Amino acid sequence: MASSAPHRALAFTFFLLLILSPLSLAKRPRPPSNKKLTHHGGPVVRGHLKLALLWYGQFGRRQKNVVRQFIKSLNSDGREGLEPKVSSWWRILESYQTTGAATSVGPVPVTGFKPRIRVSVVKSTTDVSWEFGKVITNDYVPRLVQKATGGKPDIVAVIFTARDVTVQGFCRATCQQHGLSGGNQYVMVGNPETECPGLCAWPFHRQEWGPQGVTYQPPNGDVGADAMVIQLATGLANLVTNPNLNGFYVDVPFSTELVEAGTACLGTFGSGAFPGFTGTVRVDPRTGGAFNAHGNRNKKFLLPAIWNPRTSSCWTLL
């Protein structure tokens, strides 16, 4: 019996390590393999980012409005004076213009230069007839991009697929994607209300696997809209820092998925995050919705952590 005490002490110590180790690691979330994003010689986005939205399938008016207000918030400091702001999150992505990629996209900025990426929606199209069906394979992407942009160059197609539309590759390793099609870049985002919400609507829905942490109410009262904002923010972060797929990303051997500025810190929304826990966020006492950013027209959003090139670490608004 006397020999059982040391065993109990050892077991208790091991239990404490299991509990506390995620907390210690959470102080500085890192991308896979503890590697940082590196520049691979390609350009980053600067100047005017023109977006052509395509709503493929049925979307509610509130869902469209939430997404549009998020896009407007990227360049808006707002009049309410509330902090933190969506625009502060966007400025981290603007900082990539002066971090290693400046020589590949133009002259080195002069002292005091404040980079800006002006974002505007120049076109919006709705297709409620599912012209290409409800199962979108990679073969359909060029047609969707063409439909969104009307064939005009230098416009980024942003394609939203409705909750009853299945997209090849989604729900396995990603909830959004970006790439090149002809002369246009594109971002594709799914509505995860019913399509793999345990992967793509977290933390507004229980995770399908892994630690089951606390879930939150969406800040705008719509799981689909608020989850699409998270995925759109992720896709835009990746697009801005790696538009031609030769910009900033992590070298991960034998991987078909690029780890980029928006995906290097998955599952992190605030400081102190660890698997199953978003990190520090705020809760609106009026609606119960979780958020970490103030946007246009008093909208609130929950935005993902992004990779900060100046500190080589994950960065969050809170």
pLDDT of residue 124: 97
DSSP letter string over 81-136? --SSBHHHHHHHHHGGGGTT-HHHHSSPPPTT----EEEEEEEEEEETT-TT-SEE
CA distance 173 to 170: 7
pLDDT tens for each residue of 218-275: 999 999 999 999 999 999 999 999 999 999 999 877 666 789 999 999 999 999 999 9
pLDDT tens for each residue of 67-92: 999 999 999 876 667 899 999 999 99
Structure tokens at 240: 């801005």
What confidence tier does 115 reach under pLDDT thresholds 50, 70, 90?
low
Cα–Cα–Cα angle for 68, 70, 74, rounded to 5 degrees: 115
Average pLDDT on 123-132 reads 96
Look at residue 173 and give its three-state secondary structure: coil
The residues that bridge with 38 in the sheet, in sequence order, are 249
pTM greater than the 0.75 cutoff: yes
pLDDT tens for each residue of 27-82: 333 344 456 889 999 999 999 999 999 999 999 999 999 999 999 999 987 666 78
pLDDT > 80? residue 100 = no
* Residues 162 and 136: beta-carbon distance below 8 Å: no
